[in-house]
Amino acid sequence: MGRIIVRKPIVKLSANGGSRTRVDRLAAEEPLELRVSGKALSVTMRTPGNDVEFAHGFLLTEGVIGGRADVSVARYCDSVDDTGRHTYNVLDVALAPGVPAPNPGVERNFYTTSSCGVCGKAALDAVVLQSRFETGTGFVIDSEVLAKLPDALRAEQRVFDATGGLHAAALFRSSGELLVVREDIGRHNAVDKAIGWAVLQDDIPLHDAGLLVSGRASFELVQKAAMAGIPMLAAVSAPSSLAVELAAERGMTLAGFVRQGGMNVYTGAERIIDDD
């Protein structure tokens, strides 16, 4: 498995003009080629770790699979680099018998950056996907419970503590329990890893859970939540206009600037209970 943290020498400059050499810890970024039945589907830059979860989450949020039963096996294609080190940057997923191969519209350009979730789409009309699952569920949460979740998420961001360079995503219950926390240099990768965890737990659709992200709420994150049947997306930062429009269209709750002291609710306010 690739390293999650990489140490590099740097020169640290201080405000008073001093400088010193030290070793800094950086979040690792490596390519992962995802294959389906031996055929390359996507190459994305990601933080190594939880790659099988990522693959399941990615395939579910792209509409290729509907749950764990649609995958027979996921395994690394082991190879050796120029230094003789084993690399695990190619993952091949075999679909279960009877599961159709990915639609050509799912195919992405050969290279996709860690900051981009939909820009690598091969066709513009493949950007908006229809979910197999409804999101208009009866999930509700107390506003005070929701407001505390970003602090709970931050407390679980161990690699961020070491590097300052990762996004995080978590699935949560209405009680405030964090079911899973995943970190990645790409915010959409972190979401795919968290959703992939639920796929492997046979907990899809996620009608009784919300999704919390450490940054902004973009269009592709709302879409990924909808593809998993998640009724609520909460973000520490702001949403985009398209994110709000898509959340309203899918009957989802979208909250931004979530923190102790308040939040902005852009759609689906009925799912957030305010006792004040």
Q: Which residues are catalytic?
A: 116
- Going by C-alpha positions, the residue among 31, 60, 34 that lies closest to residue 186 is 31
Distance set, CA 63 to CA 107, 164, 260 (Å): 12, 32, 35
SS3 146: helix
Q: Enter the tokens of residue 232.
A: 């609520």
Q: What b/e readout covers 141-176, taking b as 16+ CB neighbours within 10 angstroms?
A: bebebbbebbebbeeebebbeebebbbbbbbbebee
State the Cα torsion 240-250-34-64 to the nearest 10°. Answer: -160
Give the span between the Cα atoms of 21 and 121, in whole angstroms. 43
The whole-angstrom separation of Cα 11 and Cα 17 is 12
